[in-house]
Amino acid sequence: MLSYKEIGLVNTNGMFARAVKGGYAVPAFNFNTMEQMQAIIMAAVETKSPVIMQVSKGARNYANATILRYMAEGAVAYAKELGCEHPEIALHLDHGDSFEICKSCIDMGFSSVMFDGSHLPIEENIAITKQVVEYAHQHDVSVEAELGVLAGVEDEVSAAESHYTKPEEVIFFTSQSGCDSLAISIGTSHGAYKFTPEQCTRDPKTGLLVPPPLAFDILHEIEEKLPGFPIVLHGSSSVPQEEVETINKFGGKLPDAIGIPEEQLREAAKSAVCKINIDSDSRLAMTAAIRKTLGENPGYFDPRQYLKPARDAMKNLYVHKIVNVLGSNGKLAQC
Ligand SMILES: [Zn+2]
């Protein structure tokens, strides 16, 4: 048993309380590789932002949970080396699917866990979330739960269609389960194909597809029922069309990849939404940079030659999200 506090991580309670009050959201970036981790930390330090580094089931299968845990410890040391004396970095389990996986992550030094029982009947979702909360709170670890189903595919999490969170269930769910934050479904979804072209309209000026708007009415209803309670949005990548174009130009094939417009996320960040998950945009930035670099330099074979531009592209993306979309820049408790 290792406490996250021993390795300099923080839980999400303090950062969320300030974010709800301050009208901004904390970024939650998924990571699988050293380059992603470095880019996240460089961006967080440069912008003086709190940050959540999150680990999905796919990341644990790819990189190994122990290695990712040590990378998070390295991330704290790296942030300090870059000049940030008091970094606020949470290590979060994304979409934990059992009590056992949540417990094992808490025991190895995670500061926050999500139990995702959104596909279960509400009573079962409450029962397991509560079990996770009881264990997590003994160790001062924060717990995210989910109510409502997001469409899309993300690693091993997938659903054919979304079911919006029912505002009439949120008070019962949060009070019974004791969770610290709640992920809701209001029209965001996982992956780079958030909507089919048929679900979208076409902007006559740009010719680009415009997805249906998020259900802000449901968000506001939930905010009224749970004043000040931290709300989380999953599946909130914007799928920048210039990255998709670069990928397709250099041999990729991502037809009609569509995300959530940034102005809608900006609006959500000003509400009780205090954690916004972004994964696909980082994957797209990395892939676009690697394809472009290799396409323009066919003689390259040293991974550093294409991973460095990929890391730079991800760092620029993270800075952009923090400063221009979430507004968490300059929001460290102590600089
Ligand atoms: Zn998710």
Residue-wise pLDDT for 285-302, tens only, equals 999 999 999 999 999 999
Residues with CB under 5 A from ligand 1 (ion): 234
Active-site choice (94, 116, 155, 180)? 94
Q: Structural domain boundaries of the chain?
A: 4-191+227-238+259-279+315-326
- 137 CA distance to ligand 1 middle (Å): 22
- 27 CA distance to ligand 1 middle (Å): 13
CA distance 88 to 322: 14
Strand spans (E) along the chain: 26-30, 51-55, 89-96, 112-115, 142-147, 151-154, 157-159, 181-184, 189-190, 201-202, 209-210, 231-233, 273-278
Contact 173, 122 (CB under 8 A): yes
Residue 7, phi then psi, degrees to nearest 5: -110, 15
Residue with tokens 């995670």: 110
pLDDT value, residue 209: 81
Task: Map residue 46 onto helix, strand or coil.
Answer: helix
Q: What tokens were used for 48?
A: 């003086």
The Cα angle at residue 102 between residues 142 and 190, in degrees rounded to 5: 85
CA distance 279 to 84: 24
The Cα angle at residue 23 between residues 17 and 28, in degrees rounded to 5: 70
Residue with tokens 């174009």: 245
pLDDT digits (tens, 9 = 90+) for 189-204: 899 888 888 888 888 8
* Beta-carbon contacts of residue 191 (< 8 Å; ≥ 6 apart): 152, 153, 154, 235, 280
pLDDT value, residue 155: 63
Helix extents (H) in 297-334: 303-320
Annotation says 203 is catalytic = no
- 151 CA distance to ligand 1 middle (Å): 10
Angle between helices 122-138 and 170-177 (to 10 degrees): 40
Low-confidence ranges of the chain (pLDDT < 70): 153-161
Paired with 184 in beta bridges are 147
Region of residue 228 (left: phi > 0; alpha: psi -120 to 50; beta: else): left
- 109 CA distance to ligand 1 middle (Å): 21
Architecture of the domain defined by 4-191+227-238+259-279+315-326: Alpha-Beta Barrel (3.20)
- 157 CA distance to ligand 1 middle (Å): 8
pLDDT value, residue 256: 82
Fill in the DSSP letter of residue 139.
Answer: T
pLDDT value, residue 128: 98
pLDDT value, residue 159: 67
pLDDT value, residue 158: 64
